[in-house]
Amino acid sequence: MKVTLAMKPAARSFIPIEAESIVPKNFLDGTDLLVWRGNRELRLDEVFSVSVEGDADRAEDVEVVLSGETSRLKRVGEYMDGGRITILGNIGMHCGNFMSGGTIEVHGNADGWLGREMAGGTIVCRGDAADYCASGYRGGRKGMTGGTVEVFGRAGDFLAESIAGGTVTVHGNAGDMAGAEMRGGTLVVHGDCRRPGANMKEGSCYVYGTAQGMLPTFRKIGTVQHEGHTLIRFAGDIANRGKGNLFVKDYEYLD
């Protein structure tokens, strides 16, 4: 079953749309769904041109395809537990919140909190991901606990903050505090980042580029080979009696 949602042009296109109803399982009962634009509740067909091909009995057999000015859509795929969502452009904040299964593929860029506190499933972002990708929300104690996030562009600050499980891979650079407060899981940054692993307790963080502003509260262990890279291994963050592992190709301490 394929559900195609093409966003209609809107005069007040700056107003975000809360679209947590857009998850594959909800379309098993039809397309009579609601979204919010500001303080107005709207039918799905008031915001999108809707078309459906085929049918399905399980969420796993449903694909939702989003096109148009999708950067205004927030919370797409929230609590998603199966099926597939394909976003042909950019996507707004909180895509994949609390996701536990299925696949979300973003062909453009993703705004903040992509994969926030997700527990399973797969998110692929072909462009860049903004701040707090795969992290917890402000004040939360845990970020991502399971699943996979892969970003082919760069990521912003606080990537995988408080991650406790799963795997996050960024093929470009990341911003400040990548892997801060890590409690488990795996973070891989193919480019450079700043102050990685700050206050980490457990888990593994790999930086194939340069760890800029490297914190002095990590203990150097030696070198290891990982995926064809020779990396320097550090243990820490010892400021928090952490038992995490930080692997970097190169590093620069703070001035």
What would the pLDDT profile of 73-125 be if each residue is shown by its tens digit?
Answer: 999 999 999 999 999 999 999 999 999 999 999 999 999 999 999 999 999 99
Domain range for 183 is 109-253
pLDDT band at 179 (very low <50, low <70, confident <90, very high): very high
In a domain, 200, yes or no: yes
pTM of the model: 0.95
Backbone angles phi, psi at 165, to 5 degrees: -175, 170
**What pLDDT score was predicted for residue 132?**
97
In a domain, 175, yes or no: yes
Backbone angles phi, psi at 220, to 5 degrees: -75, 130
pLDDT band at 192 (very low <50, low <70, confident <90, very high): very high
193 pLDDT more than 90: yes
| DSSP summary character for residue 129 | B
Half-sphere exposure of 23 (CA within 13 A, CB side): 22
pLDDT band at 141 (very low <50, low <70, confident <90, very high): confident
Alpha-carbon distance of 7 to 108, in angstroms, equals: 16
- How many domains does the chain divide into? 1
pLDDT tens digit string along 5-53? Answer: 999 987 667 889 999 999 999 999 999 999 999 899 999 999 999 999 9
138 pLDDT more than 90: no
Give the CA-trace dihedral at 29, 147, 168, 236, to 10 degrees.
140
Give the CA-trace dihedral at 153, 20, 84, 9, to 10 degrees.
-70
In a domain, 240, yes or no: yes
Question: 181, 170, 172: which is closest to 148 by C-alpha?
Answer: 170
Q: What is the mean pLDDT of the chain?
A: 95
Buried b / exposed e across 48-70, counting CB within 10 Å, b at 16+?
Answer: beeeeeeebeebebbbbbbbbeb
**What pLDDT score was predicted for residue 227?**
87
**What pLDDT score was predicted for residue 240?**
83
Are the C-beta atoms of 66 and 90 separated by less than 8 Å? no
Are the C-beta atoms of 93 and 133 separated by less than 8 Å? no
Strand residues in the chain grouped as ranges (E): 2-7, 17-18, 34-37, 40-43, 48-53, 63-67, 73-74, 81-87, 101-106, 122-125, 148-151, 167-170, 183-189, 193-194, 202-214, 219-226, 229-236, 244-253
In a domain, 197, yes or no: yes
Half-sphere exposure of 98 (CA within 13 A, CB side): 7
Q: Is the peptide bond before 45 cis (omega within 30 degrees of 0)?
A: no
Alpha-carbon distance of 103 to 121, in angstroms, equals: 6
255 pLDDT more than 70: no
Mean pLDDT in residue range 167-174: 98
139 pLDDT more than 80: no
Mean pLDDT in residue range 198-222: 95
Residue labelled with tokens 């592992």: 245
**Residue, of 132 and 241, whose pLDDT is higher:** 132
224 pLDDT more than 70: yes
Mean pLDDT in residue range 188-199: 97
Tokens of 198: 């700050």
Alpha-carbon distance of 153 to 148, in angstroms, equals: 16
In a domain, 75, yes or no: no
In a domain, 5, yes or no: no
pLDDT band at 254 (very low <50, low <70, confident <90, very high): confident
In the chain, the percentage of residues whose pLDDT exceeds 90 is 89
In a domain, 80, yes or no: no
In a domain, 21, yes or no: no
